[in-house]
Structure formats: structure tokens, C-alpha cells
């Protein structure tokens, strides 16, 4: 993807204070004290825009969560040094040249933070969202878990070619017994379960969502009573997930959140710590985080590793900068560089598996590896992605990290014009910043 022209030639030299954007037309949620019945956010509507704009920064209200405390000295950022980036011209999906902030605003962004090197270049928040507000990550959480998992690999506590059932006997007899841990990390498990967000009668809505204690679908939380056989996500993984007899593990890419739940279970089992404590000790206390983070928990109070993380945009940026810098922050090793680098070591099979999945053939992704989405491995360009438009974008060639949170009306990323518009703009900006 090519930039419209060089950075210096295309920037509109204007300050953020001079920009005035209108928000997409909607009725604001949670209006009044107490909020009117018509504006209230509930489990049934928290993922529906505009209710999501309030719910995604207040997820503790409709759902259970536990805290991941920060620690150590805060990584300080100076005032953003390139406010003119707000108006840099990039090409939108219709081929028109438009300002960066305008594109993000028009496509339901809640916040955008851009860093190059060790400096924040640009920071912008939309609507009522602010630098101190926590926002749900959704499936960006998977990339956090896989990054943390690298420590256990480096310590020799786990064999990536072994079955997860070797370490979690509760998975014997499930669809995860015949797969390798590396296939779990690459979503190549070939299990007989599919993520279907739009069908209220799907197994996803009837079993997985209530097991997570998350109202992913309207009414999903009420499907399983408290005395249900499948009570929490671990029960779901061991008792419900079966192998797909028509597919061979490793021969396909089939994105499935259940894989991340297995990874979180492995982390807890191998480390001897609850997942949230492991993240606190090994990542959140070591990246200079400014705020405590939170993670949603299931019906049995086990963390929703697949999509439950919540933090500020700046703290998500701090995590992304550590990953970009090959696992290092402030001269200290946080994650082994070999594990960070391994994410960009993409095999021909992974490339072929992505291409063979018709859902992704028209998208920018080239592969999926270690629970990160690979755009351009040679450029060190890859992303953590969550539904409704959450992204940590890393570009090593440009020495750049960008984080944006969103409240997109549509959940899925493939084929979503709001998602595509922001990613395309970010990639164009990264090319300009690398020149």
C-alpha cells in the first residue's frame, strides 16, 4: 500500500485543538440520573452501538472482572510531539484523500495513540473516552497471553510439539488431545466447534458464551442455569469440544477463541499461578504501566483469556512498544527476544492455510502465528486484533506502534469497512513515518 506522498509534503499543519469532528449520529447511552430506561446499557445490548460506546469502557458493570495491578515506575511520555499528524492526508476506502483523525472518527474509533521510537507522536480521543479510561481489548487478549507464554517456553517448562493434554489431563478425550500446543497457538486445531456470532441457536451462543459468563449474544447468559453441566469455560473445553473427523490438525487455519482458553489454562497449570497473577508478575508490572488493568472472568471466576483484558490505550501502547522492542523495556528483559522473533518466522504452510480460508482471502493478513496477525513479516508488521475494532499495530521497519480502540457496530474484522478503513490509514501513515 503506497502513501499519497511523502510525509512532509502531505501533512496539514494544524493542531488538534483546531479540529472539530461530529460523532456518528446516535442517541447517547446512559442519559440521566438515574439513566432513562431507553438509554440503559444491559447484557442484551452492550455490544450494540451506541450502547457499546459506554459499555466498552465500563465492562465491569455488566460483567464480572478481576484486577491486574500495575507496578514499578511508570513509563513517562512527554506531550505528543507531532500534533500535525491529526490532519495528515491518507487515502480512504473510496480513494479520497482525508485527514487521519477524521477517518478514525468517522469509523467509530474511541481513541488513537501513535508512537515512534520511545516517543508518543499523536494521541486523540473521541466522544467521552479519555486517556485514563480503560477499554475492553476483546481478542487482543490472545496476543497478550501468547506473549506471556513465551516465558514458559524459554524456561523449558513446555514442549510446543506436545499435546496440551500432556499438561492438562482434563483435556484427554477432547478435541484438543490430538493437537500440538503450536497448533493451538496458530489456530490450526481442527476442532468441531465454530465461532458463529450471528446465530442465537449456535453452539457458540448456547454453550460457549454462557460458560464465559459473557453476554456475547442476546439472551446467551440465560441459556445455562447455575446447575448446568457446563458451568465454566474449562468445563466447556474438556466436555464439549470434539475433534473434526474430516480435518487434520495443522492443515488449516480456523480462527477459534477456544484455543486461547486452552493457552490460558496451560499458563495457569504450568506456572502454578492464576492467569491474572502471572500477567501481573511477568508483564503488567514490568512495562511501566500507568494504570491497573482488569480481565473479565467466567462463571467459575476463571479469566476470559480469549477476550477479557481491559486497559487504557496508553498502557496497551506500552505493551506494544515492549513487543516491538523484542521483549525489552528500560534495559530490562521482559520476554525472551527469541520468542518475540518467532512470531514473524512464518512458514509456507501458515501462509497457505491463511490463503485457503475464503474468509480472509480479500484481507491484508498474510498469516496467523503465535496468536498474532501477520501483515508483512519482512517489515516486522503485525497486529493484535479484537472484535469491534481493537488493534495494537506494530511496524518494526517504521519503529512504530499504534493503538486504537473502537466501538464499531459490526463485530467481525474480515469484510468490515470500518475496520479496513482504520487499518489502511495506519499502514499508510507507517510507510510515511519510515521515510
Whether residue 55 contacts residue 61, with contact meaning beta carbons closer than 8 Å, is answered with: yes
- Write out the chain's pLDDT in tens, 435 residues: 444 433 333 333 333 334 455 555 567 888 887 788 888 887 778 888 988 988 888 887 777 789 999 999 999 999 999 999 999 999 999 999 999 999 999 999 999 999 999 999 999 999 999 999 999 999 999 999 999 999 999 999 999 999 999 999 999 999 999 999 999 999 999 999 877 766 767 777 777 877 776 554 444 555 455 555 667 888 889 988 999 999 999 999 999 999 999 999 999 999 999 999 999 999 999 999 999 999 998 877 889 999 999 999 999 999 999 999 999 999 999 999 999 999 999 999 999 999 999 999 899 999 999 999 999 999 999 999 999 999 999 999 999 999 999 999 988 899 999 999 999 999 999 999 998
Which three-class secondary structure state does DSSP give residue 394? strand
Distance in angstroms (rounded) separating the CA atoms of residues 286 and 71: 7
Whole-number Å distance between alpha carbons of 87 and 363? 26
Write the DSSP string, 76-139. --PSPS-GGGGG-EEE-TTS-EEEHHHHHHHTTEEEEEEEETTEEEEEEE-TT--TT--EE-TT
Q: Is residue 225 part of a domain?
A: no
CA distance 47 to 37: 17
Q: Decide if 81 contacts 119 (C-beta within 8 A).
A: yes
Determine contact, residues 114/410, Cβ cutoff 8 Å: no
CATH number at residue 426: 3.40.710.10
Whether the model pTM is above 0.75:
yes
Centre a 10 Å sphere on the Cβ of residue 379 and count the other Cβ atoms it contains. 17
The answer to whether residue 278 sits within a structural domain is yes
CA atoms within 13 A on the CB side of 188: 25
Tell me the CA distances in angstroms from 238 to 228, 243, 364, 371, 373, one per residue in order: 15, 12, 34, 21, 27
Block residue for cell numbers 509456507? 348
How far are the Cα atoms of 54, 235, 315, 346 from residue 61, in angstroms, in the given order? 10, 25, 21, 40
Q: Are 87 and 19 in contact (CB under 8 A)?
A: yes
Residue with cell 469532528: 21
Domain that holds residue 396: 7-149+265-433
Q: Give the dihedral sign, CA 258/318/323/394.
A: positive
- The answer as to whether 194 is a domain residue is no
Rounded distance, CA 308 to CA 435, Å? 37
169 part of a folded domain: no
First to last CA, the chain: 14
241 near 192, Cβ under 8 Å? yes
Burial of 211 (0-12, 13-18, 19+ CB in 10 A): buried
Confirm if 290 and 314 have CB atoms less than 8 A apart: yes
Total tally of structural domains belonging to the chain? 1
Residue that has been written with the C-alpha cell 508483512 in this structure: 376
Dist. CA 395–CA 409, nearest whole Å: 27
In a domain, 424, yes or no: yes
Amino acid at each position: 500500500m503506497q502513501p499519497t506522498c511523502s510525509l512532509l509534503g502531505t501533512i496539514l499543519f494544524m493542531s488538534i485543538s483546531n479540529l472539530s469532528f461530529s460523532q456518528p449520529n446516535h442517541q447517547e447511552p446512559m442519559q440521566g440520573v438515574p439513566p432513562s430506561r431507553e438509554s440503559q446499557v444491559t447484557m442484551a445490548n452492550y455490544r450494540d452501538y451506541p450502547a457499546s460506546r459506554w459499555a466498552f469502557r465500563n465492562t465491569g458493570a455488566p460483567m464480572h472482572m478481576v484486577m491486574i495491578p500495575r507496578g514499578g515506575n511508570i513509563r513517562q511520555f512527554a506531550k505528543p510531539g507531532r500534533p500535525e499528524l491529526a490532519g495528515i492526508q491518507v487515502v480512504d476506502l473510496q480513494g479520497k484523500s482525508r485527514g487521519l483523525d477524521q477517518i478514525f472518527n468517522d469509523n467509530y474509533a474511541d481513541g488513537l495513540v501513535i508512537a515512534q521510537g520511545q516517543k508518543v507522536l499523536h494521541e486523540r480521543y473521541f466522544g467521552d473516552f479519555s486517556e485514563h479510561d480503560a477499554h475492553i481489548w476483546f481478542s487482543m487478549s490472545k496476543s497478550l497471553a501468547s506473549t506471556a507464554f513465551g516465558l514458559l517456553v524459554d524456561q523449558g517448562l513446555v514442549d510446543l510439539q506436545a499435546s496440551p493434554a500432556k499438561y492438562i489431563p482434563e483435556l484427554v478425550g477432547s478435541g484438543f488431545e490430538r493437537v500440538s500446543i503450536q497448533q493451538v497457538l496458530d489456530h490450526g486445531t481442527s476442532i468441531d466447534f465454530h465461532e458463529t456470532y450471528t446465530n442465537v441457536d449456535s453452539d457458540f451462543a448456547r454453550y460457549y458464551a454462557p460458560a464465559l459468563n459473557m453476554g456475547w449474544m442476546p439472551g446467551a447468559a440465560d441459556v445455562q442455569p447455575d446447575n448446568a453441566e457446563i458451568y465454566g469455560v474449562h468445563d466447556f473445553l474438556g466436555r464439549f469440544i470434539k475433534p473434526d473427523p474430516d480435518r487434520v490438525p495443522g492443515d488449516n487455519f480456523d480462527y477459534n477463541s477456544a484455543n486461547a482458553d486452552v493457552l490460558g489454562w496451560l499458563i495457569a497449570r504450568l506456572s502454578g499461578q492464576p492467569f491474572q497473577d502471572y500477567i501481573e508478575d511477568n508483564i503488567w508490572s514490568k512495562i511501566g504501566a500507568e494504570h491497573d488493568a482488569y480481565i473479565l472472568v467466567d462463571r467459575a471466576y476463571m479469566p476470559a483469556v480469549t477476550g477479557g483484558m481491559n486497559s487504557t490505550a496508553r498502557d496497551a501502547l506500552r505493551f506494544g512498544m515492549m513487543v516491538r522492542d523484542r521483549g525489552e523495556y528500560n534495559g530490562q528483559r521482559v520476554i525472551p527476544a527469541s520468542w518475540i522473533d518467532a512470531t514473524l518466522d512464518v512458514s509456507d504452510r501458515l501462509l497457505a492455510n491463511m490463503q485457503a480460508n475464503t474468509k480472509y482471502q480479500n484481507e491484508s493478513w498474510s498469516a496467523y502465528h503465535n496468536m498474532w496477525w501477520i501483515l508483512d513479516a519482512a517489515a516486522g508488521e503485525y497486529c493484535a486484533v479484537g472484535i469491534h475494532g481493537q488493534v495494537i499495530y506494530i511496524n518494526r521497519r517504521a519503529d512504530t506502534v499504534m493503538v486504537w480502540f473502537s466501538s464499531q457496530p459490526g463485530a467481525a474484522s474480515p469484510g468490515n469497512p470500518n475496520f479496513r478503513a482504520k487499518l489502511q490509514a495506519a499502514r499508510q501513515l507507517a510507510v510515511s513515518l519510515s521515510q
